[in-house]
Amino acid sequence: MNEKPIGVFDSGLGGLTVLSAIAEQLPQENLIYFGDTARVPYGSKSAETVIRYSLEILDFLLLKEVKTIVVACNTASSHALTALREKSPVPVIGVVEPGVQALLREAGTQEKAAVIATRSTVRSGSYSRTLSATGASLSLVERACPLLVPLVEEGMKDKKVTEMVLREYLDEIDREGIRHVILGCTHYPLLKPAIRRLYPHFELIDSSREIARTLEESLAANQLSGNPGHQGKIDLYFSDITDNLPDMEKLFMGRSIDSIEKVSMGW
C-alpha cells in the first residue's frame, strides 16, 4: 500500500502549485495529478455540477489505485468534500481546513483576517464555516477575486494590469487593518511576489504549503508513508491538452514533466 500513488486533482492547472509543494515536501511519494482542463473553470459552476465532476474524477483516481486523495481545488473542496469522503475508500484531504488551521496558528491575537478566492468558493462560505467550527473568535472577510485566475493563466502576473486589479480587490482589506490573508485559490501563490510588493505588511497563508504538511501528517497517521530514499515519479493526466499546456506546466510546477496524458472520461 505504501508504494501506491497519491492522487491529486483540480479543475485545471492551478492545482499544480499544490502538486509541486507535495513533491517538494514528500519527494519519496509517487504522485498522480488529474486536471479537468476540458471543463475548467469550476468557480462559475453550480454546487451540484462541481460535486458530479468531482465524483467522476474520484472514480478515475481510484482506478489508478491511489492510497489517498488531495482535492487541490478550493471550489471542489468547498462543495464536494463531504460527498467525496462518503464515497471514497481512501482518505480525502481538502484545501480549506489546512488553510484555516494555518491562519489560526499565524494570526495569534488578531481579531480579523481575510480570504481571497473565486466567486463559488466565497458563495459557499466554506472558510467561514470551517473557522467557526473551531470555536475561534477570529472573524473572516471573504473577498471574491474572479479576474486573478485569467490574469495568471495569460502570463500577466507581473504586469501593471495585474497590479491594478490587485489594488481593486485588496485595498479595502488593507483599509480594514487586516494583516493575515489566506490565498484561497491554487493560482494565487503565483501572485505572492506582486502582493508583497503592494502590501509588504500582509501575512500570506499559502494553502499549497499547508496541504503538503497536512498530507504528510495524514500519511504518517494512517501508516501510508512512502519508503524513505525512494524517488517518487509524477504522472499528469488532463481531460484536454491545449497548446499552452507546456508553458502552464512550467509556470505552476517550476519544471517540465515527462509523463503527460490526455484522458477520455466518457462524458
What CA–CA distance (Å, rounded) separates 171 from 157? Answer: 18
Whether 95 shows a pLDDT value over 90: the answer reads yes
Provide, rounded to the nearest whole percent, the portion of the chain with pLDDT above 90. 65
Query: Over the Cα atoms of the chain, what is R_g?
Result: 18
Spot the catalytic one: 22, 58, 73, 178.
73
**Residue 73 is a catalytic residue:** yes
- Residue 101 C-alpha cell reads as 488551521
What CA–CA distance (Å, rounded) separates 22 from 81? Answer: 19
How would residue 254 be classed by pLDDT, with cut points 50, 70 and 90? Answer: low
Give the per-residue pLDDT at 207. 81
**Between the ranges 9-23, 77-91, 229-243, where is the mean pLDDT highest?**
77-91
Mean pLDDT of 183-205: 94
What CA–CA distance (Å, rounded) separates 65 from 48? Answer: 26
Three-state DSSP class for 234? strand
β-bridge partners, 9:
34, 71
Spot the catalytic one: 57, 96, 173, 185.
185
β-bridge partners, 32:
7, 235
- Residue 46 C-alpha cell reads as 453550480
Burial class (CB in 10 A: 0-12, 13-18, 19+), 169: middle
In order of their start, the domains of the chain are 6-94+209-262 (3.40.50.1860), 96-207 (3.40.50.1860)
- Residue 86 C-alpha cell reads as 462518503
What CA–CA distance (Å, rounded) separates 99 from 117? Answer: 12
**Residue 145 is a catalytic residue:** no
Give the per-residue pLDDT at 252. 64
Mean pLDDT of 79-97: 96
Mean pLDDT of 15-38: 92
Mean pLDDT of 112-139: 93
Mean pLDDT score of the chain, rounded to an integer? 90
Give the per-residue pLDDT at 1. 60
How would residue 229 be classed by pLDDT, with cut points 50, 70 and 90? Answer: confident
Mean pLDDT of 34-48: 88
Specify whether the CB–CB gap between 31 and 17 falls below 8 A.
Answer: no
List for the chain the helix, strand, coil content (%; round to 5). 45, 15, 35
What CA–CA distance (Å, rounded) separates 218 from 94? Answer: 12
* Peptide bond connecting 41 to the previous residue in cis, omega within 30 degrees of 0: yes
How would residue 61 be classed by pLDDT, with cut points 50, 70 and 90? Answer: very high
Place of cell 492547472: 13
Place of cell 459557499: 124
Task: Identify the DSSP state of 90.
Answer: S
Give the per-residue pLDDT at 232. 86
First-to-last alpha carbon distance for the chain, in angstroms, is 31
Phi and psi angles of residue 181, each rounded to the nearest 5 degrees, phi first: -130, 120
Mean pLDDT of 57-62: 97
